[in-house]
Structure 1
């Protein structure tokens, strides 16, 4: 194929994408059938099918069992504020502060349990594989709809048998990592975050109300005190519904 020339299925997908973008095919409209695409664009069944697959993979359309393929309503991305963002006098996490706004109608649920550190978690916490950690899983909702998953791990060597062993219980339950660690004389002085993207796992998208395989943003966050990791977490958000916003102080 000559340089710059697109395969037929990409040309068809591109035209349908344009129609979705300009409103010719508005949200909840049924996508033209495979037979209609074949006839309108003069392509084979295989090309028509591949074009539809491209649009589904991009999250522009969705299949409805026994009904057909429909244009998805595109959500307006909402911000996920990260490092450096704090409301005046606030000590909770940025997300909790955002959701405290009555307009956001944010809620969350969590569950903590002890487990042995996997190789990946052990590496991030700089502990030995198999050492005991407290894992806490969160499901955040905005306006009643699932919006974000977070899983955090804290080494029980540091927090075990202390008032902050359970992140959501005790005298400092629900407070930020910085405040909780300060209570056991650990001064958090830096946070490292790595932002990446990958296909959403089936179990993640089941909880987030999305389609398995659609792109999610993953923020790998690690709090450190004097160079020692005291907490690490994976924050997972659907890429089509969120934008990660960093507010960083200039020194």
Structure 2
């Protein structure tokens, strides 16, 4: 049988000590160099062991300060469901409250932004075609819980009252309602979730550590003709939100 990697063995021992309360919540651990000496391993092994515990949510690294036992945070539930706004989803039927749904947000839109190649491919347009780009920071009970950047082709919305998602008569109403107001009927939403690590910019905005686990969701919305009308990249901190997908069962 293959032997367990040294860093995993060290991480297991440290995990046991942390869970046993040897270091209190919020307390700083000894330096990595000191722990490496204590366990008779190289600093690289200790670095990987502690990174593993940071990923697992037991520790947090603070730049220029050290590594601390992480204060437990309740993970809020976010339900991704086509039934969410109809009151007929699983959470509604069970009487459970969806927790973690954003109740406030900040946004900033830019018009006439040339579409990057990846965005253009997702929207079925040519690189450089003009779009409206909007960045969002979503809050739940004052806590940052999600980032998003959306792109809409100006070929669809230019000259209409909905060209800016967060201004005008339908500000904040969402893509489906806004597009319907100009005769564009939404039929399909495709989401591709992927695990990732927080970048420096994302960590700063979300109040987490660089390298923390996040869920990235690539969303593209299509009209009834199969034309992409909006695409967005959402970033959700794993430590803050539990993302649940709800699907309806086809009836015979």
Give the TM-score of the pair, scaled to structure 1. Answer: 0.84
The answer to whether the 8 A contact 2:189-2:221 is kept is yes
Q: Distance in 2 between matches of 1:125 and 1:7?
A: 44
Give the TM-score of the pair, scaled to structure 2. Answer: 0.83
SS in 2 for 1:207: helix
In the TM superposition, 1:40-189 aligns within 5 A as 41-43=39-41, 47-64=45-62, 67-88=65-86, 106-114=103-111, 115-189=113-187
Q: Distance in 1 between matches of 2:36 and 2:215?
A: 35
Superposition CA RMSD, Å: 2.8
Q: Which moved more, 1:185-194 or 1:206-215?
A: 206-215
Q: Which moved more, 1:206-215 or 1:181-190?
A: 206-215
- Kindly provide the CA deviation profile for residues 215-248 of structure 1, in whole angstroms up to 9, marking residues without a partner as x: 2101111111120011111110112221211222
User: Which residue number corresponds to residue 231 of structure 1?
Assistant: 230
Q: Which moved more, 1:137-146 or 1:154-163?
A: 137-146
SS in 2 for 1:120: helix
In the TM superposition, 1:4-15 aligns within 5 A as 4-15=2-13
Where does structure 1 lack aligned partners over 5 or more consecutive residues?
91-98
| 1:35–1:88 Cα change, 3 Å | closer
SS in 2 for 1:11: helix
Q: How many equivalent pairs are there?
A: 240
Where does structure 2 lack aligned partners over 5 or more consecutive residues?
89-96
| 1:89–1:240 Cα change, 3 Å | closer
| 1:67–1:112 Cα change, 3 Å | closer
